Chain A
Amino acid sequence: MSIFSSLFTRKKNKNKGKPTEEELFKQQDIPKQYYSQVEKNKKLLEELFKGTFDFKCEPIKIGGHKAYLTYLSTMTDKNELSNRVIQVATNHPTGISFNNMIEMRELYFPSVDFKVAENFHRVVWAVLNGEALIMVDGFNEALSLGIGLPEQRAISEPSTQTIIRGPKDGFVEGLPVNILLVRKRLKNPRLKFEIYQMGRDSKTNVALGYINDIANEDLLKEVRERLNKIDVGALLDSGNVEEFIVDKTITPFPLVYNTERPDSICGHLLEGKMAIFVDGSPFVLTVPTLFVDFFQASEDYYQPFIMSSFVRLVRYSSFMIALLFPSLYVAISTFHHELMPTQLLISVQAQREGVPFPAVIEIIIMELSFEVLREAGVRMPRVVGQTVSIVGALVIGQAAVEAGLVSNVLVIVVAFTAIASFVSPIYSFSIATRLLRFVVIFSAAFMGLYGVLLFLIIMVIHLVSLRSFGIPYLAPVAPFQPRNQDDVFVRVPIWLNKNRPSYLYPKSPVRSEENNQPSPPDQPVGGQK
C-alpha cells in the first residue's frame, strides 16, 4: 500500500486523540475552572449569558443542599423540565443526602438521560445544548440532564434524489435522527460513529460513521486526521466540511459524494467507505469518492439488473451529451460542414439563414439564458414559479426563434443538452458539466473539432490525476481493475457481486461466499413426472 504511505506522511497531526471536546471554548477565553462554591459558578455563568432573555438560573433545594437549576428556556422541553426535574426536586426538599452527582441522579432523576460536567467548559456546553444543568453547592461537578427539545422537520422524501422504487425516507437536519436512519438499516455492532465538535463559533457536531471490520484502517486514519485538522468559524452545512477534506480544491469535479438517501449511505458504508454526518445538514458525505459513484443511483440496485445497466449506460452517454453537444454543434457548423450528411447540412443551414449571429454567439446567448432561467428557478419563491416558467418557455424558446435571433436547431441543441445535464443522480456532479460546457464551447469556437478533442484529452488527464483520499478518482477504469468491473458501466446481479471493490482495500473483501444463484427446483413441483 505504497500509495498511502506517500500520502499520509504529508501532514503532521497537531492534536492527537480526541480533539475538541475538552478544549471546547478555549479560543473564546472562557475559563475552564469549575468551583465547588456554587455562587461563583452562577456568577460566571450569568456573566457569560448576560443579555440573553432565555437564560434561566433558578435556585432550588435538593436533598438539603443548596443548588441552582440552569437552562436555556428556548431549548428545553418545558413539560419534561417541570415534571421530571422541578417537581422531583421540590417534592423532596430535605430528601436523602448524596455524596456525588451520580448518586444524586440515581436518587432523584433515575429516568433522565444525564452527563456529569466536571469542568466549566462542559457546563457551558451542556447549557448550550439545551440540557438542564443542576449545580449543587459543595460539589466540584455539575449534573446535566438531557431534556432538550427535539424540534425538527419530520422525516420526508428526499427532495434531490427521488426514486421510483425503493425506500422513500430521507435525511433531515438533526444528527441523531440521521444516525438512527442508518442504524435501523444496518444492525451491526461494528457500525461505529465517532463524534467531533467543529467550528469555533458554532461547535457543530460532526459524526464519522464506518463499519469497523470493513473500512480500511489507513483510510480511516487519514479521514480522522483531516477532520481533526478542520479549524473554521462555523459549519452550517456538510458542504463546509467537504471543502476542508478534499485532496485538491482546484477542480470542477466533486471529490466528495453527498446524498440525502440513507440507503445510499448504507451501500457506501458496506463497500468500505466512511460517512460524515454534519448536524444541521440533511446531506451526508461519503469518502473516498470515485467518478463512477456519480453515475450510480440507489434505485439501480432495486430494479432488475438488465434495466439498471441500460439506464446506467444512458447516464454515461448523457454526461457526454451534456458536455459536448453544444460544442459539437459549434464546431461542425463553423468549421467542418463536410462532416454533416448533405441533406442534414442543407436543412440546418436553411434554418440558420437570417440569424444575425455566428453559431458560437448564438449558443452562448442561449446557454447563458438557460443558466439564468435555471438559477431563477431554484432561488425564486415558489409562488412566482409559474410566471418564470411561462416567460422562460415563451421568450427563450418560441419568441427568440420567431424573432430570428436564434435558429430552431439551436433551441433543440440547447434543450437536449439541458435535459441531459439533469440525468446525473447527484446534483453537484452536474454542476461540473455545466461549467465545463462553456469551456468546450469556446475551445470548439476557436479550434473546431480539434479543440474539442484537445479539451477532452486535457479533461481526462485532469481526471486521472485526481485522487480522493489517495484513491485514484477514475478507479476502477484507470487504473483498470478487471475484478471491479461488476458495478461500473453495467450492474451484475446481486448474487454475482460477491466482492467489495478492492480499490478501497476493505478489511474483509468478501460480501458473500456462497454461490446463491437462483434456479428452478430439481424436482418438478407437485411431484409430476
Chain B
Amino acid sequence: MKNILVEKLSLWQLFILIFIFEIGNAAVVSTGNDANQDAWIAIGLAMVFGMGLALMYYFMLSRLPGKNLFEIFQFCFGKWMGGLLTLLYILYFLYIASRVLRDFCELIVSFIFEETPIEFIAITMVIVIVYMLYLGLEVMGRTSEVFMPYFFSFIIIIGIAVFISGEMEFENLFPILGDGFKPVLKAVFPQLLTFPFGELIAFTMIIPYTSKFKKAKKITLLAVMASGIMLIYNAVLQITTLGVDMRARSNFPLLSSAREISLLEFIERVDLVVVFIVMFGIIIKVSVFFYGALKGLELISNRPYRMYVVPIGAIIAFISVKISDNFAEHIEEGLIVVPLFMHVPFQLLLPLMILPVLLWKTRKSKEGRK
C-alpha cells in the first residue's frame, strides 16, 4: 500500500471546492423553471434541504473518521456486497461526470464554435482534467484556490454590469408566490434538491481527507450556504434580465443575460467571462465526480488511482459524446429521468438505507472496544 498516497486538503480548499462544485453547471443551465418567477425561492428552499443532506453525509462519515463512503460500504456489508455497492456508485459518478462534461460541450458548440465537433471539446477538456487529477487532490485544491477570486468576482461583476446597463427589470420578480407554494415545492423536489445540492454525495470521497476533519462540518455547511446564496443571486439576475419566459426557453440563461451587457460602448459581449466561469466550474465538478470514481477503483483493486486516470478519462470523454444525440435529448434526460431514477436513489435512498446499518455496526464496535 506504499504507493497509495494520503493527500490532505485544507479547510479553505474544501470550502472553495464545494462552492465551485455547487455553482459549476447549475449557474448556466436553467434550473427551477417549474417555480417560474419564484425560482430563487425554490433555490433557497433547496439550499436549506441541501444543508440537511450535507449534515447527513457528514454524520455518516463522522461515525468512522478517516474513511470515505466506499470504505464505509465495505465496513458495513463486507467485501463483496460493499464492492458491489461501490461499483454501482462508480458507474453513477462516471455517468454524472460525463453529463456535466456534455453540458459544457453543448455550451461551447452552440455559442462559440458552431462548426467544431463536440468530440474535440470533450477531449480537450478531459485532457485538462486528467492532467489535474494525475497530479492529485492537493493540486486540484490549490488550482481552485488560484481561480476562486476570478470565479467569484466575475459572477458578481456580471450582475453589476447588467444592472448598470439598465437591463434589469425587477417587476419580473413579482408576484412573489403568486401561485402559492406548490410550484416552488415541485421545483425543489426532485430537481433542485438533487441538482446541484444532492450531488454533494461526491464529496463523501473528499471530506475524509481534509486536514481538520472535525471542522469540516461547519465548512461544508458554510460552503453550501454560500453557493446557495450565489445561485439565488444568479437566478434573480437571470429572471430580472430575461423574464420568466425567456429564461425558461433559453438553454444557457446566464450567457443570454451576460449578452445584455453594454457598458461605455466598449464592454460588450462578455461571453468569454461566462465561458470562463462555466469552464472552471465544470472542470472542478467533473474532477470531483471523477476523483470519487477513481477512489472507488483504487479501493476495489487496491492499486493507486493514478493508474486509472487516463483510461477512465478517455471513457468519460466517450460517454459524454455518446450519451445523447442532441441537446434537447440531453436536457430532457437531465431534467426528468436523471433526477428521479439516478439522483434520488443514489443521493437519498441508498444513504438512508445504509445509515441504520452503519449506526448499528459502529455501536457494536464501540462497545467492543470498551
Contact = CB atoms under 8 A, between A and B. Distances in A.
B170 interface: no
B270 to A, nearest CB: 8
A458 B272 contact: no
Given A341-B265, A464-B146, A453 B276 contact: yes
A477 interface: yes
Interface of B: 5, 8, 10, 12-13, 108, 112-113, 121, 124-125, 128, 131-132, 135-136, 139, 141-143, 145-147, 265-266, 268-269, 271-272, 275-276, 279-280, 283
Nearest to B283: A457
Given A461-B135, A464-B139, A341 B266 contact: yes
A458 B134 CA distance: 12
Interface stretch (A228-236, A276-284, A442-450): A442-450
Contact of A460 (B121, B136, B147): B147
Most buried by B among A338, A341, A474: A341
Given A341-B265, A461-B132, A479-B10, A453 B142 contact: no
B149 to A, nearest CB: 10
5 contacts: A450-B108, A450-B113, A465-B136, A472-B142, A479-B142
Contact of A480 (B12, B139, B265, B280): B12
B146 A465 contact: no
A458 B128 CA distance: 6
Contacts of B5: 6
B280 A450 contact: no
A453 B10 CA distance: 26
A461 B143 contact: yes
Contact of B280 (A338, A457, A458): A457
Given A461-B135, A480-B12, A448 B145 contact: no
A474 B275 contact: no
A451 to B, nearest CB: 8
A457 B143 contact: yes
A448 B143 CA distance: 22
B145 A457 contact: no
A463 B145 CA distance: 12
Most buried by B among A2, A6, A344, A458: A458
Given A448-B113, A449-B275, A450-B108, A339 B145 contact: no
A472 B10 CA distance: 14
Contact of A447 (B8, B124, B269): B124
Contacts of B10: 479-480
A247 B291 CA distance: 26
Contacts of A450: 108, 112-113, 121, 124, 275, 279
B101 to A, nearest CB: 14
Contacts of B136: 465
A336 B269 CA distance: 10
B67 to A, nearest CB: 19
A346 to B, nearest CB: 13
A372 B304 CA distance: 47
B266 A474 contact: no
A483 to B, nearest CB: 12
A436 interface: no
Contact of A465 (B12, B135, B279): B135
A479 B145 contact: yes
Contacts of B132: 461
B139 A477 contact: no
B269 A458 contact: no
B272 A474 contact: no
B272 A461 contact: no
Contacts of A454: 124-125, 128
A478 interface: yes
Q: Looking at chain A, what size class is its interface with the partner chain?
A: 20 to 34
Contacts of B265: 341, 343
A461 B146 CA distance: 9
Interface string A455-478: 001101101110000001010011
A465 B136 CA distance: 9
Most buried by A among B5, B124, B271, B283: B124
Contacts of B125: 454
Contacts of A448: 112-113
A339 B124 contact: no
Contacts of A480: 10, 12-13, 145
B16 to A, nearest CB: 9
A276 to B, nearest CB: 27
Given A341-B266, A453-B279, A460 B146 contact: yes
Given A464-B142, A465-B139, A478-B146, A457 B128 contact: yes
B124 A461 contact: no
Nearest to B5: A6
B146 A474 contact: yes
Nearest to B135: A465
A343 B264 CA distance: 12
Given A458-B131, A460-B146, A477-B145, A449 B124 contact: no
Most buried by A among B128, B131, B146: B146
B38 to A, nearest CB: 34
Shortest 10 CB-CB contacts between residues of A and residues of B: A478-B142, A464-B142, A478-B145, A465-B135, A465-B139, A478-B146, A461-B132, A341-B266, A460-B146, A480-B145
Nearest to A457: B128
Contacts of A477: 145-146
A482 B113 CA distance: 40
Contacts of A460: 143, 146-147
A463 B131 CA distance: 12
B219 to A, nearest CB: 14
B100 to A, nearest CB: 16
Contacts of B13: 479-480
Given A338-B269, A480-B13, 4 more contacts: A464-B146, A465-B136, A479-B13, A479-B142
A480 B13 CA distance: 8
Nearest to B13: A479
A264 B125 CA distance: 42
B353 to A, nearest CB: 37
B131 A461 contact: yes
Most buried by A among B128, B135, B142, B147: B142
A448 B272 CA distance: 11
Most buried by B among A335, A460, A472: A460
Nearest to A331: B272
Nearest to B264: A341
A344 B265 CA distance: 11
Contacts of A478: 141-143, 145-146
A271 to B, nearest CB: 21
